[in-house]
Structure 1
Amino acid sequence: MASPSAEDPNEEALRRGTVLERVSEGIAALDSDLRYTYVNDRAEQILDARREQLIGQHVWNAFPKSKGTIAQEAFEAAMETQEQQSYERYNSALDRWFEVRVYPDESGLSLYFADITDRKTSETELARTNRRLTALIENTSQAVYLKDCEGRYRFVNEAAAELFGLEPEEVVGKRDEDLFDVGSAARIRRIDEQILEDEAADSHETTRFIDGDEHVFLSNKYPYYDEDGDIVGIMGIDREVTERKRRQRALERSRQRLQSLFKKLPDAIVIHDADGNVIDVNDQTIDNLGYTRGELLSMNVTDFEVGVAPEELRETWAEMNVGDRDKGQGRYRRKDGSTFPVEVWVDKTKIGGEEQFIALSRDVTARVQREKELRRKNDRLDEFAGIVAHDLRNPLSIAQGRITIAAAQVEGGGGVSDDLRVAQKALGRMEDIISDTLVLARRGDAVESPEPIPVAEVVGRCWNMVETGDASLVVVDKCTIEGDPDRLRHVFENLLRNAVEHGGAGVTVRVGRAGEATLYVEDDGPGIPSERRENGFEPGRTSREEGTGFGLAIVERIAEAHDWEVTLTEAEGGGARFEFTGVEILS
């Protein structure tokens, strides 16, 4: 009789099989002939094959493309040495990386597929970052180095080694005393000790002597920490500015003369050498970029000129001869990070016997905005063309339908005149839409040559052009304004027609001035509800079936062309009131 604690082998196998099906790793087993004996659900996904297709199949028959690859090498090595093997496999269908661990035993091989996608991604990103950093350090013109706490150089880049006429590996292991004069080495050591003591960065300009020659550097040093957060040395980045300092001293007298010229020019001026190092700037450059003069004199043109590769700029300068001028467009970056468009003229000249470049730049933000405004107006034309295309279909369909009916009725002998009148009305509305759209498209340009216009006269002529019925007009102030008479005719005709059509029988329309630069047109009709005023100037909005919805849009566009602002509000009597502000009222 079996012990109560003994577990049935079948139950144990079932339990273990259930566990294997639930694990996140893919698991498969091969017998000694490399035929599949087990595949769990996750392994099915990874291998992209059904379990029933694999069981009993030889591995190379199931996956012939894997034969001769690292997978075969791992399987054969595991069988031969009876030691664990592993390799990595990419599954394109799942877009995942897997590590395949191969475990041999007396019955064959056990395969474990572990998802290592995150690790591979991190490794790839780390490798990419390391390549970028290495390329940056090795290709920069600035000296980059790392020293331990005893002052021995542990790393230097090409630029740093070139200062001493050595290869990088020849500098490693040396101290400052081996490379600089005694005084320079002592000053360097004092600064390094202070950095290690305070655990703080240090930036300064310093003069050092190498083989008796004076070198001036902009030196930036930082504490260097290990992975445990302990200081293990100092990292430094030094930029040599010796030649620039010499040029600055040589140009000291000529700078005073140039400074006088700089202050008289409204455009920014930057003087730089063939590498783009800034030698001098005028006050306008300081105002435009937001840097101090000292900051700009330690910069390169490429530090604030964006959108052009430094190599491209230097190539352009190198191709220029003394006396040449190059003109181009670009963008400058301010200290606060914002950018603005510029037009730049660069002259190559000689100052103090040295070839230098004078770059005169002009902020063209206003011009760019005007061009943007022009594009906006062109977009409006497209907008209106779309509206016309849409709105013409309905009246055109009516006209076509009614004319078709009329033609049929002619044959039947009756009812033709009414249908034709409907068709004529629809076609007339089409003509109104076309006319209004042309006004919108052609009258939105800025007014170039305004003229004195007596308001009473132009309003009176417009009133005679509108079907007014019992309505009345009152010109409160007979003032004279400045504008385009032809365009303002469209403004007043639309507003007067709008007041008569919506104000009801006997409506009174008043035109006058309100303040020194405001003109108004108002009526005593029912007015426009407040919820409709905000969008009242949008093209296509109308409360009348036969209206085009373009009238107030025309008013707004022409007002904008005069640099006026028009608002829709409520008159004291409750009617509609249109106010134009920014109007040049002459008398």
Structure 2
Amino acid sequence: MTGILGANGFGGDTPIRVLHVDDDPARVRLSESLLTKHLTDAVVHTETDPTAALASLDDDLSVDCIVSDFDMGAMNGLEFLEVVRDRFPRLPFILFTGKGSEEIASEAISAGVTDYLQKGGGADQYTVLANRIENVVGRYRAERAATEYQERMRNVYERVTDAFFALDEEWRFTYLNERGERLLSRTEEELLGKVVWDEFTDALNSQFEDEYREAMETQEPTMFEAHYPPLDMLFKVHAYPSEEGLSVYFRDVTETNEMRKEHHREKELLERVFETSPVGILVINSEGEITRANERVVELLEVTEEEITNRTYDSSQWTTTDEEGNPFSAGENPLLEVFEDGATIRGMPMGYESPSDEWRLLSISAAPIQSADGDIERVIATVDDMTERRNRQQELKQQNKRL
């Protein structure tokens, strides 16, 4: 048995640690000699007084099994067992005694003894005892390893930000974390061992059942979003199958979905505003490249949207002037101030000569959109045609001059 127990304390090369309690000094010396002979690398501690044995356990003596006589004066083996069970409920305890009555055996079993063995049979009985020790310690270590593994996994699952439950191959709940309890409005205690389709009948013939069953059949993980009417929630689910069952991570994305819908509606609204605005709108990236232009800009500039978005705002392909029709010199473009200083400009005049040789006076407004670090990510510019207004003003000025 010691050959298959791991070196982490649950087997492998870890020696079996035995505490043998017997008020006969010769018996415990014999026990130590014979047990170490039959148990490879065993460590045997002996005590002739049960009270001293309890004290040594309280002083952090670590053992895998207790072997105890029955008749030990002030405290018999069953009384000793009762105290041990109060302090160490799962520690293997073998009653190894010369008292062989059925009454003692019955009381020992009722008190929770792990095994019962009579001393008769000479030295050969220690071979039997060694074998019993190997068996009970093997089970004890395996159970302890499983318990600690389950606790570690429970701690992992409880730290998971998503809700989580696990199902076995028969669709029975084997685990539900605290977040899962809150979302499902059910406790782990209520669901453990229950079949998911019996407890959540509305999941039958739904996307939940289809996805889970396909995952188990194909042994391929799945991810989906589905609405569960009884809880009025939209769940985002990741399910991972194995031969032992299904691990399901899920979260309530109802609010997130509503936000997505609202964002989509806002995006559609802004898109309509962009395309139907009576004012021309340009979106320019941080490199000065025009990335978007609405229909009004296309009308004003008399070039296609594709041509516009293949140019920069200061491209030499544009024929621009000041409001008097004089060509701009280097550094006079109104948008330059926005890109260099991050300034916002409003109603800056700029002349523009279209491909049809029509000169227009445009009004340019622009503002930068900056990142959290203060870097310019984009510039939004509006373009309005001021030509007719300028012509009316000039006509009015001429009329006033004639008057």
TM norm structure 1: 0.37
- Structure 1 residues 135 and 182: alpha-carbon distance in aligned structure 2, compared to 1, 3 A threshold: closer
- Is 1:109 matched with 2:246? yes
Q: Given residue 101 of structure 1, which amino acid in structure 2 is its aligned partner?
A: H
Cα deviation 1:168-225 (Å, max 9, x = unaligned): 3342112454653264784696323343222322231222221321222221123344
Is contact 2:321–2:351 with CA below 8 Å preserved after alignment?
A: no
Q: Which residue of 2 aligns with 1:221?
A: 366
In structure 2, the residue matched to 1:38 is: 175
CA deviations over 1:447-470 (Å, ceiling 9, x no partner): xxxxxxxxxxxxxxxxxxxxxxxx
**1:36, 1:51 → 2: CA distance?**
9
Matches within 5 A, 1:183-582: 183=321, 186=328, 190-191=332-333, 192-203=335-346, 204-211=348-355, 212-226=357-371, 229-232=374-377, 234-252=379-397
Contact 2:302 2:354 (C-alpha < 8 Å) held by counterparts: no
Partner of 1:147: 284
Cα distance in 2 between the residues matched to 1:50 and 1:149? 54
The 10-residue stretch of structure 1 (84-93 or 26-35) with the greater mean CA deviation from structure 2 = 84-93
Partners of 1:196 and 1:246 lie apart in 2 by: 31
Distance in 1, matches of 2:206 and 2:266, equals 30
1:12 corresponds to: 148
- Aligned partner of 1:357 in structure 2 is none
CA contact (8 A) 2:165 2:173 kept: yes
Separation in structure 2 between the aligned mates of residue 114 and residue 51 of structure 1, nearest angstrom = 17
The offset of 1:93, in angstroms, is 6.4
Q: Is the 8 A contact 1:164 1:179 kept in 2?
A: no
2:299 match: 162
Residues 499-536 of structure 1 show CA distances to partners (whole Å, capped at 9, x for unaligned) of xxxxxxxxxxxxxxxxxxxxxxxxxxxxxxxxxxxxxx
Gaps of 5+ in 1: 257-587
Aligned to 1:328: none
Q: CA deviation at 1:42?
A: 3.8
Assess, with a 3 A threshold, how the Cα gap between structure 1 residues 25 and 167 changes in structure 2: closer, same or farther. Answer: same
CA contact (8 A) 1:34 1:59 kept: yes
- What is the aligned partner in structure 2 of residue 410 from structure 1? none
Structure 1 position 95, deviation (Å): 6.1
Asked which structure has the greater RCO (Cα within 8 Å, sep 6+), the reply is 2
Q: Is the 8 A contact 2:300 2:385 kept in 1?
A: no
Instruction: Go from structure 1 to structure 2 and tell me whether the alpha carbon gap of 1:178 and 1:206 turns closer, same or farther (over 3 Å shift).
Output: closer
Q: What CA deviation, in whole Å up to 9, does each residue of 1:38-84 have, x standing for no partner? A: 33454344234565775555444544543454434432453345343
Give 1:181's match in structure 2, choosing from 303, 312, 319.
Answer: 319
Alpha-carbon distance change, 179 to 41 in structure 1, aligned in 2, over 3 angstroms: same
Which residue is equivalent to 1:404? none
1:8 match: secondary structure: helix
Q: Deviations over 1:91-140 (max 9, x none)?
A: 66666554322122220101122344564455445434433332222221
Aligned-partner SS, 2:318: coil
Compared with structure 1, are the counterparts of its residues 73 and 244 closer, same or farther at alpha carbon in structure 2 (3 Å cutoff)? Answer: farther
Q: Distance in 2 between matches of 1:135 and 1:188?
A: 36
Determine the structure 1 residue equivalent to 2:127: none
Does the CA-based 8 Å contact 1:79-1:104 persist in structure 2?
yes
Q: Which amino acid aligns with 1:27?
A: F
| Contact 1:217 1:240 (8 Å CA) reproduced | yes
The residue identity in structure 1 corresponding to 2:271 is T
Q: Secondary structure at the match of 2:216?
A: helix
Give the residue type in structure 2 aligned to 1:237: T
**1:377-399 CA distance string (max 9 Å, x none):** xxxxxxxxxxxxxxxxxxxxxxx
2:170 matched to 1:28?
Answer: no
What does residue 413 of structure 1 align with?
none
Q: Could you give the per-residue CA deviations for residues 276-335 of structure 1, whole angstroms, max 9, x where no partner exists?
A: xxxxxxxxxxxxxxxxxxxxxxxxxxxxxxxxxxxxxxxxxxxxxxxxxxxxxxxxxxxx
Q: 1:427-463: per-residue Cα shift (whole Å, max 9, x none)?
A: xxxxxxxxxxxxxxxxxxxxxxxxxxxxxxxxxxxxx
State the shift of 1:161 in Å: 1.7
Alignment check: 8 A CA contact 1:179 1:210 kept: no
SS in 2 for 1:180: coil
Which residue identity is paired with 1:241?
A: M
Task: Structure 2: state its 5+ residue gaps.
Answer: 1-15, 18-61, 65-140
Q: Tell me the matched-pair count.
A: 256
In structure 2, relative to structure 1, the CA distance for the partners of 1:145 and 1:23 (3 Å cut) is: closer
Partner SS, residue 221 of structure 1: strand
Partner Cα separation in structure 1 for residue 272 and residue 166 of structure 2: 46
1:462-488, Cα deviation, whole Å (9 max, x unpaired): xxxxxxxxxxxxxxxxxxxxxxxxxxx
Per-residue deviation, 1:243? 2.3
Secondary structure class of the residue paired with 1:133: helix
Distance in 1 between residues matched to 2:309 and 2:207, nearest whole Å: 41
Encode CA deviations 1:21-43: one digit per residue, 9 max, x unaligned: 68764321122243433334543
Aligned with 2:332: secondary structure? helix
Residues 227 and 48 (structure 1), Cα distance of their counterparts in 2 relative to 1, 3 Å cut: same
Q: Any idea what SS the aligned residue of 1:12 has? A: helix
Give TM-score, length-normalised by structure 2: 0.51
Structure 1 contact 46–91 (Cα < 8 Å) conserved: no
Identity of aligned residues (%): 28
Cα drift, residue 160 of structure 1:
1.1
- For residue 370 of structure 1, what is the aligned residue in structure 2? none
Superposed, 1:80-95 pairs within 5 Å as: 80-90=217-227
Structure-2 separation of matches of 1:90 and 1:65: 11
Gap change, CA 1:87 and 1:111, over 3 Å in 2: same
1:424 alignment counterpart: none
Report the 3-state secondary structure (helix = DSSP H, G, I; strand = E; otherwise coil) of the residue aligned with 2:301. Answer: coil
Q: CA RMSD in A?
A: 4.0
